[in-house]
Amino acid sequence: MRAELFVPPVAFHAEGPVWWPDDGSPVANTLRYVDMLAGRILTVRPEALTAGSRSPGTSAGSALTPVAPDMVDALDVPGPVAGCLRPRVAGGVAVLTEHGLSVSDDPAGGAWTEIAEVVTDPDVRFNDGGCDPAGRFLAGTMRYDQGKGGGALYRITGDGAVSTVFDDVTISNGIAWTSDERRAFYNDTPTRSTWVLDWDESAGLTNPRRVFTLDDDDPAGGPDGLCVDTEDNVWTAIYGGSRVECRDAEGTLLEVVDLPVTNVTACTFGGPDLRTLFITTTQENAEPGTQPGAGGVFAVAPGATGVPAAPFDG
């Protein structure tokens, strides 16, 4: 199965895609993602998703009609980094910045308030994350130089309280919960593995074990962002591997989505029925001019239905 270009490369390092819920705002029911190292949130105008001749999720392999660059709106966040964003339970938006978590009462963003400053080391930044079923932000960091063990995974509650979940990761990346809310999948990219952990609201994440590990002879860098479908299969962007892999909870490979660019960063299910897989990519580490789609968002309907991203309770 091959994904098609949906959003042209208006970003350098596209990351953190999320399908925005029907919150009654001008950004409801559309795709949002970040240009991470430019510190920007990118929002596909909702009308762009209804203007094409094809609908998301109509059949396996189908995708949306590509949108024009001027149909993507950009919003600066505080500081030079936008890690990922999530809707808020009470309305508005929460975004990981370089060193903390900021919120806005406006779903479209703006008038930011920092509710947690987490990182004090200037050589460390936030990278990726997501909200657990209780609405707490699980936010991962990494060193700018990608030094081993220089990152962590933090839990940020709605009142801004911060606790450490893991303190010895390198590039903390995708995290997502199963539909029954009892397990979560997680990536620390240099381990070249996707992990599954047990979860409940009081204990949090416990009992990590490997779901799969890339083969030693695989030239890809490692698992990056991920999402989960309603069958509790995990869809993982393989950075440096030109693909997204779908595996079941035991690690069995079920499906591969190929892309015409090397560095695939993250994926999420979206569309009104959550049956279109949106896949972000980056121009990072690509020879200039050799991959015209790098930095764009690709789309495919793989015949699965996604689990909505949990909102932040803050």
Whole-angstrom distance between the N-terminal and C-terminal Cα of the chain? 39
Whether the CB-CB separation of 228 and 241 falls below 8 Å is answered with no
Residues contacting 150, CB < 8 A, separation 6+:
123, 124, 142, 143, 170
Cα(244)–Cα(209) distance, integer angstroms: 21
Whether the CB-CB separation of 185 and 176 falls below 8 Å is answered with yes
Cα(149)–Cα(40) distance, integer angstroms: 27
- What residues does 228 pair with on adjacent strands? 234
- List phi, psi (to 5°) of 48: -70, -25
**Candidates 224, 232, 248, 313; catalytic one:** 224
Catalytic site residue 273?
A: no
Q: Which of 230, 268, 267 is nearest to 249 (CA)?
A: 230
Whether the CB-CB separation of 20 and 30 falls below 8 Å is answered with yes
DSSP string, 63-78: -PPPPPGGGEEEEE-S
- What residues does 237 pair with on adjacent strands? 244
Phi-psi region of 6 (alpha: psi -120 to 50; beta: other; left: phi over 0): alpha
* DSSP annotation of 262: S
Q: What token pair was written down for 89?
A: 């339970």
Which active-site residues does the annotation give? Answer: 224
